[in-house]
Amino acid sequence: MQQRRLGKSNLEVSAIGLGCMGLSGGYGPTIDRLTGVSLIRSAVEHGITFFDTAEIYGPFTNEELVGEALAPFRDQVVIATKFGFDIDPNTNQQRGLDSRPKHIKEVAEASLSRLRTDRIDLFYQHRVDPNVPIEEVAGAVKDLIQQGKVNHFGLSEVGVQTIRRAHAVHPVAAVQSEYSLWWREPEREVLPMLEELGIGFVPFSPLGRGFLTGAINENTRFGNGDFRNLVPRFTPEARKANQALVDLIGEIARRNKVTHAQVALAWLLAQKPWIVPIPGTTKLDRLEENVGAARVELTLDLQNINTRISRILVQGGRYPEHLEWMVDR
């Protein structure tokens, strides 16, 4: 697979990565460990070298799964994980945010153990902690980098002022936020700043949590525990209204003889050479489909796509109201 460099860092990864969160729940039942290990190893065989996890996924079990699956390939892959939540050690329930430097270093040690590795390639702050200055966060990660336990510093769901302040303490290699054909907000301020500072961008939910693949419509029912049951953008009414976007993607897919998902991923790849999406999946055929997007050229359609998308007003918020506080503005 084609490789991409995340900004001005020396962090080189496959053009498409694998978001591993869904292997441990969030969008339905958790798959069994052996199936998860097999899928991750299949991703390596298909050329994926960039794997995204976090302590909060599970919690903890996703890092363990990723660590087991990638142990035989450790020097061939890049592993990204995240810190920033306060997790009750007795119940494994999230209690809020915690990016105190002492806690960051404790999380790093625990993640290293679960991932079966001696270094974390990319360590993101998962969500901005309003109680801890970002300069202290960056300083803690800088210490870990100097100790050889972390290679690169990242931020997630973060605003431009926070990025600039953190970057002044230690270079930020990558920012991870939602970005897709139905959420283009990063284009307003974040992407221009990343280009200015030479920071890579890692879009999560590049397939709109499955909606952009065309496999979901207003009649789709999500299982118990599926996060989409809480998301305003996934109410039946919003899905019906947003079908216009899926129809447009389908039209482009037919013209290019590719799938909906491949159009959505190829569109992201065409925006900037330092953008690396991390679609997640639990199915091998979807993994292969996503990998195939790296070979899709939409250059002749880009202007047309962007013009027509701008005319479609997407309905519904991307987070439920009680979780909006986690997004840094």
Please count the other Cβ atoms lying within 10 Å of the Cβ belonging to residue 10: 10
Strands 94-97, 85-87: pairing is: antiparallel
Q: Return the closest-CA partner of residue 158 out of 144, 182, 138, 142.
A: 138
What amino acid is encoded at 56 in this protein?
A: I
Cα 104 from Cα 100, distance rounded (Å): 6
Q: Which residues of 235-257 are buried (b: 16+ CB within 10 A; e: fewer)?
A: eeebbebbbbbbebbeebbeebe
Task: Report the half-sphere exposure of 101 (CA within 13 A, side-chain side).
Answer: 12
> How far, in Å, CA of 121 to CA of 148, rounded?
10
Tally the C-alpha atoms within 13 A of residue 108's C-alpha that lie toward its C-beta: 29
DSSP symbols for 74-121: GGG-EEEEEE-EEE-TTT--EEEE---HHHHHHHHHHHHHHHTSS-EE
Q: Is residue 57 annotated as part of the catalytic site, yes or no? A: yes
Closest by CA to 173, choosing from 135, 141, 144, 200, is: 200
* Cβ(29)–Cβ(225) below 8 Å: yes
- CB 287 within 8 Å of CB 22: no
User: Which is catalytic among the residues 27, 57, 124, 179?
Assistant: 57
The DSSP symbol for 210 reads G
Q: How far apart are CA 103 and CA 115, in angstroms?
A: 18
Residues serving a catalytic function are: 57
